[in-house]
Amino acid sequence: MDTLRFYIDGAWVDPAAASTLAVVDPATEETVGQISLGSRQDVDRAAAAARRAFAITSQASVEERLGWLSRIIAGFRARLPELARMMTLEMGAPITFATERQATVALFHFEEATRVLAAYRFEEPMGAGIVRREPIGVCGLITPWNWPLNQVASKVAPALATGCTVVLKPSEVAPLSAMLFAEILHEAGVPAGAFNLVNGDGPTVGEAIAAHPEIDMVSFTGSTAAGVRVAKLAADTVKRVAQELGGKSANIILPDADLRAAVIAGVYACNTNGGQNCQSPTRMLIPRAARDVAFAAARDAIATIRLGDPLDPATTMGPLVSRAQFDKVQDLIRSGLDEGATLVAGGPGRPAGFNRGHYVRPTVFGDVTPQMRIAREEIFGPVLSIIGYDSEDEAIAIANDTPFGLAGFVQSKDLARARKVAERIRAGRVYINGAGFDRSLPFGGYKQSGNGREFGVFGFEEYLEVKAILGDAA
């Protein structure tokens, strides 16, 4: 598969300069496609197209925008198996997970944007005037590889729903599903220039988007270090910056919880998507007296994880996305051993029987202290740290002792107690007793996990400006 063109102004166009990058299947380490690496000139062209299109999209009626979304949803549903398979090839998500979660959750964002748009009040009387909410303009969207289509959809859906236009840079590591997504938008009849896609790397295309004077807002999902760079570049043009960055989420298992069940569920949650999730509960906090029971439960949970060919429906964990990610995770696993943590399950190296692919052993460390690297750094792999505590206050202090604040987890049979603990966790989302995904609730972080929110009405309003008109209260 060679996808060497960019989607700009309603057409597939050649890049300004010829430079290509291979897309590698992380399960086989074989090339499955190629993309072109864009330049500042390509971003200029896309931004100009988006600016022209904004004159149309910003004036489009709610009914017209609902029509775009409806046709995108229909096209997405029709091609969902193809989209899922593409994500399996480009980033290694098991095909069952890619179908039921990766692709399906991406579709949810368009369904949710439709729901919000249909009921949203863009104008209302207030005081001696009227308050209007208007589309912010041209939006630069920079998305990661771990949920390649979900993160694209979580930004594109509200942007188009509000009447904005888009310049998208998907991850160069996993760009192929986004190229299929562009085909869906083209077939849906979205106005030319409303959606533009330029592939490329962060230092070139990403930075050009963040700094571009014709781009009014940048929405970025990725590492905290890259988010800081984006914000600095955006500052010169005083554009709005919305960011969803790193995480090191704590999972507090209170003494009254069903310990074995809570540990097993926590292990599975930490290993979902190969641990490549920004809100993974990678720090499990347990009553110190429950150490041995927790370790045994964790070993049992790890033993049920099935590594294998991600195209096999029975596989529950595939490879990590790249060699670079594999090496990073191996380094952190070794650091856990060097710093004296107890290896409960897994460990360094590839799993037995795997001689190719970026597969790692799902790993659990016990007796972890809060200052160890594995307890402080975002690993972005299937590595869990179990930390003991003696009191509820100590558990909350450990949970909050991090520069991140994306998510938290609390397990308890006493919902009132769990709620009080949840309120004290400094994070943008807290899940009680394994609560499921809700696309209408806001998603985003405190502290160095970002600013702004995605999903539902909160994500919708990130793409709107607020205008007061005085003297027309009627």
CA–CA separation, 194 vs 216, rounded Å? Answer: 14
Catalytic status, residue 270: no
Retrieve residue 270's tokens: 């930490």
Half-sphere exposure at residue 10, Cβ-oriented, CA atoms within 13 angstroms? 10
250-253 vs 240-244, strand pairing mode: unpaired
Beta-carbon contacts of 141 under 8 Å, excluding residues fewer than 6 positions away, are 152, 155, 156, 159, 166, 167, 168, 169, 218, 219
Beta-carbon contacts of 43 under 8 Å, excluding residues fewer than 6 positions away, are 167, 198, 205, 208, 209, 212
Neighbours of 337 (CB within 10 A): 14
CA–CA separation, 245 vs 453, rounded Å? Answer: 11
Q: Is 403 left (phi over 0), alpha (psi -120 to 50) or beta?
A: alpha
Catalytic status, residue 244: yes
Q: Which of 244, 378, 454, 461 is an active site residue?
A: 244
Residue type, 371: Q
What are the counts of helices (DSSP H) followed by strands (DSSP E) for the chain?
A: 16, 21
Contact 169/198 with Cβ under 8 angstroms? yes
Q: Which of 270, 278, 378, 454 is an active site residue?
A: 278
CA–CA separation, 164 vs 135, rounded Å? Answer: 5
For every residue of 274-329, which 3-state class applies, written as one string? HHCCCCCCCEEEEEHHHHHHHHHHHHHHHHCCCECCCCCCCCCECCCCCHHHHHHH
Residues with a known catalytic role:
244, 278
